[in-house]
Amino acid sequence: MSKIPSVKGTRDFYPDQMAVRNWIMDGWRAASVRNGFVEYDGPIFEHLQLYTQKSGDEIAGQLFSLTDRGGRDLAIRPEITPTLARMVNQQINSLPRPIKWFSLPRLCRAERPQKGRLREFFQWNIDIIGSNNSEYADADCIYTAVDYLRSVGLTPDDIIVKISSRSMLAALLLGLGFDREQLDTIYVLLDKRPKLPEETFMALAEEKIPDNSLRKKLLDILDNCNDIDILVEKVPDSVQDNIEDLRVLLDLLTQLGIEPYCQFDINIVRGLAYYTGTVFEIFDRQSQLRAICGGGRYDNLLAGLGGPQITATGFGMGDVVLEILLQEKNLLSTIKNELDFFVVWDDYHTFERVGLNIVNQLRLRKYSVAFDYRRTDDALGKQLKQASNQNTKFAIIIMKDEIKANKTLIIKNMATSNQKTALLDDFLSKPDNYMSNNELNT
């Protein structure tokens, strides 16, 4: 029988890869808690309508959908924001505001796998719902994303947060003479621009915006107004209030100390249909990869799913592009599975009498501990090699004569090869003292 491969666009997480995944997700969780968010989760599949109703064509075309035994149309979640909106709507009157939630869901999208984009991935989601100050909430979301990224070693030389406004773009389009019915089509068009060859984009632009004069006006602004002061001079008066809102947001990010990471970029649109205000994406500085993170304001989503009209903002950061960038910056080289202790012996009868008690006592104190499962008197060298293969910090060496004569054992630092004799009872009462001992660690 032939071997069955994994499904294209998915990943197998062997222990080394799992260590990296856990490290990334632990960092996401720590940054969330540090910035005042609490965790939630939802089901892996939802009613199909939840996604087709409000997420727009980009997500609707990427669904793994199914019909269950009861004839219900369902879909595996491609994102979690609609689930969040549904959950909040169900308990909106009992939830204290602002609602600051985060989640680390596994998501699936039926799209063509390529660098930085898979069919199955993990995503960090941050959302703030019901804030009475939109600019503060937007700033806090962006700050939280940057807070995590700089905590893992990424600097302003490595990444950039590009910020714009969907409401500003809407006002601009209407002010230039576009019809409101055209807006969603143009948002999708402009969102595709960075992902397409320029000739392909221009051909598509001619198709979607047949009015040559309008098309040229819009593209002129997008190509030449990435400075807010220049933008002010070239756009209709109807856009000025939206530009001022952006100035306020950028000033808040300056006060929060992350200005070097941030810049205004009028070309940031976001493809999802539910965005209503501030939008942003985070890229590597060289723009060699897809967006690391994307988000923005979605004030109409809850109302569109049967809930109240309420402010909302958030972002999603996928693990695939992030991991590629961290690998390229050599920020994952030290991540590996490690054991605190590995117990070795020169006599397995002594080990069973003394060593298993040591294993138990250390595990009760929350240390990670392993030992050789073979009930033989293998040479110490073989056991120490096994300890090394498992990335053990310290080996505990039990010598039959030493334990019998004076209840001592040997503690060996596997990295430095330094070792020190210890009284059994003293070691068990204060393991940390030996793990931090200068003689062992230098």
Q: Domain map of the chain by residue range?
A: 15-328, 339-441
pLDDT of 47 above 90: yes
Fold equal for 15-328 and 339-441: no
- Residue 56: pLDDT band with limits 50, 70, 90: low
CB 419 within 8 A of CB 440: yes
CB 319 within 8 A of CB 121: yes
Which residue from 375, 370, 377 is spatially nearest to 396, judged by alpha carbons? 370
- Mean pLDDT of the 349-368 span: 94
Q: Which conformational region is residue 78 in: left (phi greater than 0), alpha (psi within -120 to 50 degrees), or beta?
A: alpha
- Residue 324: pLDDT band with limits 50, 70, 90: very high
Q: Is 121 helix (H, G, I), strand (E, B) or coil?
A: strand
Cα Dmax for the chain: 96
Position 54 scores a pLDDT of 62
Which residue in this structure is represented by tokens 């109807």?
Answer: 238
- Residue 58: pLDDT band with limits 50, 70, 90: low
Task: Give the C-alpha distances (Å, rounded to integers) separating 282 from 144, 182, 328.
Answer: 12, 27, 16
- Residue 29: pLDDT band with limits 50, 70, 90: very high
Q: Is 305 helix (H, G, I), strand (E, B) or coil?
A: coil
- Residue 36: in which H helix or E strand, if any? none
How many whole angstroms separate alpha carbon 413 and alpha carbon 396?
A: 9
Which residue from 269, 285, 325 is spatially nearest to 115, judged by alpha carbons? 325
Residue 331's Cβ-side half-sphere holds a number of Cα atoms within 13 Å equal to: 17
Where is pLDDT greater, at 222 or 58? 222
Position 87 scores a pLDDT of 95
pLDDT digits over 252-303, tens only?
999 999 999 999 998 898 877 778 899 999 999 998 999 999 999 999 888 8
Which residue in this structure is represented by tokens 């107004």?
Answer: 225
CB 269 within 8 A of CB 164: yes
CA dihedral 354, 356, 361, 362 (to 10 degrees): 110
**What is 15-328's CATH topology?**
BirA Bifunctional Protein; domain 2 (3.30.930)
The CATH architecture one would assign to domain 339-441 is 3-Layer(aba) Sandwich (3.40)
pLDDT digits over 69-94, tens only?
999 999 999 999 999 999 999 999 99
Position 55 scores a pLDDT of 56
CB 11 within 8 A of CB 38: no
Q: For the stretch 11-46, what's the b/e string if a residue is b when 16 or more beta carbons lie within 10 angstroms of its beta carbon?
A: beeeeeeebbbebbeebbbebbeebebeebeeeebb
pLDDT of 388 above 70: yes
pLDDT of 357 above 90: yes
Q: Which two tokens stand for residue 316?
A: 């999603």
Where is pLDDT greater, at 104 or 65? 104
